[in-house]
């Protein structure tokens, strides 16, 4: 085996590397199944039904229906069982929609794999990899399935997931049919699913997928999502537990009081069940399941994949957004725009008739020799395009040379060198490219030459060009040096690459400023280049923090410095972690973008790590909370807008749930305690529940964003979702409805028969319920605007509610079941008017005090409460 076999990517010249055809791959996927292990998370319809049957509300409805049957009330019992089926059907619909959203996200979160099919490279979901696929592996990739290495270049793999050994192992290219060995050994050709490529690149032929892989046989369930309770879930659990205990105590008290006072224990039990049903906030868990799942689905439609649901909570609180320049703010479409060699500049014109002066040929030649044979990096691709355009069919392109050794770029030496064996000389040819100051150091230039080169670099950087330097050397010997400094490098020249700013960036940056989000650009480019791009983007570029300055600072100095700096230039990936930690120490909520292996610590340390889905490594994606599928800055801004909308709507939904339960619980208990006939029975609660459930989980989730969603500062991350002024405002709404409905029932009992009084008060309660829904749709928009706002789910629920209310009032069969008497038109209109009046005061408050009143209660009320 010679060195060429270890390094040369043979698939370009070997037709056997054409890969499977799409038809063959589809057939093998059908036979072998997807390349995935069972996650144990998928919930079937049957499992959802069992979970629903254990819910308190379902059990209470079932108990009430059973009591009716036991005491001979066949019709009432059957109707309640009908409600049981309706609740079950509604739950199946809601949870089924949630599961479909989660399943779609699960498919998206499957690790991606770069394969060769039909002779073309394509990126597919890891679960679609099949036996016989040719998979391209590079540093930072997770190996998608077991395979054998058929081409490679210094491939090092971390197999600690399978072996527990922290040391990476080297891989060699397979020769013939090698005997399969267990993971952990060095110098074997076998790669295993789930292991991590830490260095080099290669091509593997897949031999086993899914449960047939090594990790499948061991039984490790990769990809299983660790479910941990978020702060919001913990807070809500405490609220539910408190209300549930209160409901239990009050229901038992009501049963005993009513039973002892009246002697009618059947009615006492039914009243107690009705009160328990009225008080139990069983909608909260549903909301907490539906909103994040559908929110993540909405984010995915906006090209942002949610890997950790808790990140949705944090998006609305983000105060600092740290972003890479290349590919996020810019188009990542590198083009060589200017050359510098022998003290002369050359603007590149790609017109076919353009001739390239001879003394620039070596600069292009050695930039290509210092790049990968099959380049993937945008800059190396730009060099290859430049060479094909100007040097095609010349002696400066060397497809017949053999790559002997690579010296990779490191944080200590920002340059990459490659040693080639020439076909026309006994001496090895060495090509290096990298940061200008590093190449200058490798060339050991005198002060005068260094000054000239630095001036040329600054001139190109001021114009926003990314500048790389190129050097060359020759080497004679059999043992290659350990360090690049041992070569006698000669400086060749500079290349200036243009990467245009995305046209939509200035507007997106302005939206961040309006939303109180500080944008910090972090780049490895020269400060002058960074300043030019920052000004185009609309960022304040007066203060710049360089990597060298950062190294000289202690943590306290860095914390003070990052308070005013928006541009960080010449930053190494590992320095991002210190920047994130400094911002966090200042109390900022930090979102950070990254794509490389070395970005993973910073992504993990930030509150919201955002990995690049297009050019990012698997390691970066696994360390992140969100994955940007299109690598576009505007998608991040859109995600923050959606995050704020999701949190707003979640808050509105929970406010409505609490507000609507106050009058329902009150009217289930107070008439009995005050000596009036019971107003609400389980059948009435079940009817109201059919309104509340779809509204709180689906209608509010579908609500449009507030007009000021990106014109207010980030929310306080320590503030509770549902506390302080927000909680009291919801209680006040509910009490207002309770006062009106209670007054209506008392008045009706003085003038109307029991069944008519119950129908009158219940109609008032239903209309007040609908009024509460509309009142909580927006913090600032008036009722007239809300009536025109698009939300089809809400209108369907409202229309169905009014239709069923009319049937229950005027259809004799249902009227008897609900213990109603038909209402004359004037009483019906009066009930409608009272129901609307119960919440009209809230609209007047919004209209009169749009900023200092309701909005403050929603936006900052909880945080105000935290400081008291």
DSSP secondary structure, 26-81, as one string: HHHHHHH--S----S-PPPHHHHHHHHHTSHHHHHHHHHHHHHHHTT-HHHHHHHH
DSSP string, 494-554: EEEEE-PBPTTHHHHHHHHHHTT-EEEEE-SS-HHHHHHHHHHHT---S-EEEHHHHHH--
What's the rounded Cα separation, in Å, for the pair 576 and 411? Answer: 13
Chain position carrying tokens 């972090």: 522
The reported pLDDT for the residue numbered 548 is: 87
On the question of pLDDT at 798 being above 70, the answer is yes
What residue has token string 């060749």? Answer: 492
> Which of 22-31, 52-61, 487-496, 509-518 bottoms out in mean pLDDT, i.e. has the lowest?
52-61
User: Dihedral (C-alpha) 816, 817, 819, 821: value to the nearest 10 degrees?
Assistant: -40
Is residue 604 within 8 Å of 621, Cβ to Cβ?
no
pLDDT score at 853: 38
| Residue length of the chain | 868
Are the C-beta atoms of residues 677 and 59 closer than 8 Å to each other?
no
Whether the per-residue pLDDT at 641 is higher than 70: the answer is yes
What per-residue confidence (pLDDT) applies to 847? 61
- Work out the percent of the chain whose per-residue pLDDT is above 70: 77
pLDDT of residue 257: 79
Residue 578 has pLDDT above 80, yes or no: yes
- Tell which wins on pLDDT, 631 or 390: 390
Q: Is the pLDDT of residue 449 over 90?
A: yes
pLDDT of residue 560: 93
Q: What is the pLDDT of residue 163?
A: 62
Q: What is the pLDDT of residue 629?
A: 79
pLDDT at 269 over 60: yes
* pLDDT confidence band for 232 (50 / 70 / 90): low
Average pLDDT over residues 270-289: 69
Q: Quick one: pLDDT at residue 65?
A: 63
pLDDT at 38 over 80: no
Query: What local confidence, expressed as pLDDT, does residue 277 receive?
Result: 66
Find the range with the poorest average confidence among 6-15, 38-47, 239-248, 363-372: 6-15
Q: What is the pTM of this model?
A: 0.69
Rounded CA separation 801/806 (Å): 9
Q: Phi/psi at 109 (nearest 5 deg)?
A: -80, -5
The alpha carbons of the chain give a radius of gyration, in whole angstroms, of 34
Identify the CA nearest to 509 among candidates 325, 707, 334: 325
Average pLDDT of span 803-823 = 92
The confidence band for 95, taking pLDDT boundaries of 50, 70 and 90, is: low
Whether the predicted pLDDT of 346 surpasses 70: yes
pLDDT given at position 850:
45
What pLDDT score does 102 carry?
Answer: 52
Confidence label for 221 from pLDDT (cuts 50, 70 and 90)? very low
Greater pLDDT, 765 or 232: 765
Strands 567-569 and 304-306: unpaired
Q: What is the pLDDT of residue 496?
A: 93
Looking at every residue in the chain, the average pLDDT score rounds to 79
- Top-confidence residue, 123 or 49: 123
Among 37-41, 616-620, 703-707, 804-808, which is the least confidently predicted range?
37-41
**Per-residue model confidence (pLDDT) at position 220:** 39
- pLDDT tens string 834-862: 998 887 777 666 665 444 334 444 443 33
Q: Residue 398's pLDDT is what?
A: 84
**pLDDT of 142 strictly over 50:** yes
Q: Above 60 in pLDDT, residue 678?
A: yes
**pLDDT tier for residue 228 given thresholds of 50, 70 and 90:** very low
- pLDDT computed for residue 37 by the predictor: 63
More confident residue, 37 or 745: 745
What percentage of the chain reaches a pLDDT higher than 90? 22
Burial 65-80 (b: 16+ CB within 10 A, else e): bebbeeeebeebbebb
pLDDT at 811: 93
Residue-level pLDDT at 493: 95
Query: Distance between CA 821 and CA 643 in Å, rounded?
Result: 48
- Cα–Cα distance for residue pair 721/232, rounded to 1 Å: 7
Using alpha carbons only, give the angle 607, 608, 614 rounded to the nearest 5 degrees.
150
Return the SS3 of 114: strand
Which of 136-140, 229-233, 406-410, 844-848 is predicted least confidently? 229-233
Neighbours of 401 (CB within 10 A): 15
């Amino acid at each position: 085996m010679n060195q060429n076999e270890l390094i040369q990517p043979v698939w370009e010249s070997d037709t056997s590397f054409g890969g499977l055809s799409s038809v063959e791959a589809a057939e093998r996927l059908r036979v072998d199944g997807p390349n995935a292990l069972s996650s144990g998370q998928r919930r079937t319809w049957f499992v959802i039904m069992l979970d629903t049957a254990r819910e308190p509300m379902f059990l209470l409805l079932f108990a009430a229906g059973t009591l009716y049957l036991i005491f001979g009330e066949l019709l009432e019992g059957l109707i309640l069982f009908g409600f049981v089926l309706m609740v079950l059907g509604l739950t199946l619909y809601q949870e089924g929609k949630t599961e479909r959203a989660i399943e779609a996200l699960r498919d998206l979160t499957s690790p991606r794999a770069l394969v060769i099919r039909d002779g073309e490279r394509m990126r597919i979901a890891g679960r679609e990899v099949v036996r016989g696929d040719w998979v391209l592996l590079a540093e930072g990739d997770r190996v998608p399935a077991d395979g054998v290495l058929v081409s490679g270049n210094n491939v090092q793999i971390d197999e600690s997931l399978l072996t527990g050994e922290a040391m990476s192992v080297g891989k060699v290219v397979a020769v013939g049919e090698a005997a399969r060995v267990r993971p952990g050994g060095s110098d074997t050709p076998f790669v295993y699913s789930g292991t991590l490529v830490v260095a080099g690149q290669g091509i593997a032929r897949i031999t086993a997928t899914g449960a047939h892989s090594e990790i499948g046989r061991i039984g490790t369930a990769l990809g299983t999502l660790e479910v941990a309770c978020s702060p919001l879930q913990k807070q809500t659990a405490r609220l539910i537990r408190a209300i549930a205990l209160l409901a239990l105590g009050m229901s038992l008290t009501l049963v005993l009081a009513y039973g002892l006072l009246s002697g009618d224990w059947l009615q006492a039990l039914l009243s107690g069940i009705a009160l328990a049903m009225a008080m139990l906030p069983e909608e909260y868990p549903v909301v907490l399941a539906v909103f994040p799942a559908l929110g993540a689905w909405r984010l995915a439609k906006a090209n942002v994949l949610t890997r950790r649901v808790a990140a949705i909570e944090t998006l609305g609180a983000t105060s600092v957004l740290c972003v890479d320049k290349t590919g996020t703010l810019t188009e990542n479409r590198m083009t060589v725009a200017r050359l510098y060699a022998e003290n002369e500049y050359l603007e590149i014109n790609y017109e076919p008739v353009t001739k390239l002066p001879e003394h620039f040929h070596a600069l292009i030649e050695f930039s290509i020799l210092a790049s990968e044979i099959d380049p993937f990096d945008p800059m190396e691709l730009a060099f290859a395009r430049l060479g094909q355009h100007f040097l095609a069919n010349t002696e400066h392109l060397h497809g017949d040379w053999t790559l002997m050794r690579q010296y990779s770029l490191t944080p200590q030496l920002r340059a990459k060198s490659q040693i080639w064996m020439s076909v026309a000389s006994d001496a090895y040819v060495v090509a290096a490219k990298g940061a200008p100051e590093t190449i200058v150091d490798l060339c050991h230039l005198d002060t005068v030459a260094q000054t000239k080169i630095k001036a040329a670099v600054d001139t190109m950087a001021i114009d926003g060009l990314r500048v790389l330097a190129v050097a060359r050397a020759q080497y004679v010997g059999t043992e290659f040096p350990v360090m690049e400094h041992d070569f006698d490098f000669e400086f060749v020249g500079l290349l200036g690459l243009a990467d245009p700013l995305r046209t939509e960036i200035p507007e997106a940056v302005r939206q961040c400023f309006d939303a109180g989000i500080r944008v910090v650009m972090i780049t490895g480019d020269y400060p002058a280049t960074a300043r030019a791009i920052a000004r185009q983007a609309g960022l304040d570029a007066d203060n710049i923090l360089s990597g060298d300055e950062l190294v000289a600072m202690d943590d306290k100095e860095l914390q003070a410095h990052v308070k005013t700096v928006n541009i960080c230039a010449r930053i190494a990936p590992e320095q991002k972690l210190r920047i994130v930690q400094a911002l966090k120490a200042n109390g900022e909520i930090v979102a950070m973008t990254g794509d490389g292996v070395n970005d993973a610590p910073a992504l993990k340390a930030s509150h919201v790590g955002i990995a690049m889905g297009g050019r990012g490594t698997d390691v970066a994606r696994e360390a992140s909370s969100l994955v940007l599928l299109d690598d576009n800055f505007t998608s991040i801004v859109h995600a923050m807008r959606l995050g704020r909308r999701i949190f707003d709507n979640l808050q509105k939904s929970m406010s409505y749930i609490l507000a609507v339960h106050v009058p329902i619980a009150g009217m289930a208990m107070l008439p009995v305690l005050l000596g009036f006939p019971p107003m609400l029975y389980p059948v009435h609660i079940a009817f109201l529940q059919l309104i509340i459930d779809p509204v709180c989980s689906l209608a509010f989730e579908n609500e449009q964003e507030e007009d000021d969603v990106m014109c207010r500062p980030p929310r306080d991350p320590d503030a509770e979702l549902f506390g302080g002024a927000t909680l009291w405002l919801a209680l006040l709404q509910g009490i207002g409805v309770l006062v009106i409905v209670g007054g209506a029932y008392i008045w009706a009992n003085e003038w109307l028969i029991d069944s008519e009084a119950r129908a009158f008060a219940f109609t008032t309660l239903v209309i007040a319920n609908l009024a509460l829904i509309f009142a909580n749709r927006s913090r600032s928009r008036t009722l007239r605007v809300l009536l025109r706002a698009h939300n089809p789910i809400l209108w369907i629920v409202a229309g169905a509610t009014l239709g069923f209310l009319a049937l229950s009032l005027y259809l004799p069969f249902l009227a008897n079941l609900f213990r109603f008497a038909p209402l004359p038109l004037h009483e019906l209109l009066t009930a409608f008017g009272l129901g609307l009046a119960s919440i009209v005061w809230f609209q007047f408050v919004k209209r009169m005090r749009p900023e200092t009143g309701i909005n403050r209660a929603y936006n900052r009320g909880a945080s105000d409460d935290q400081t008291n």
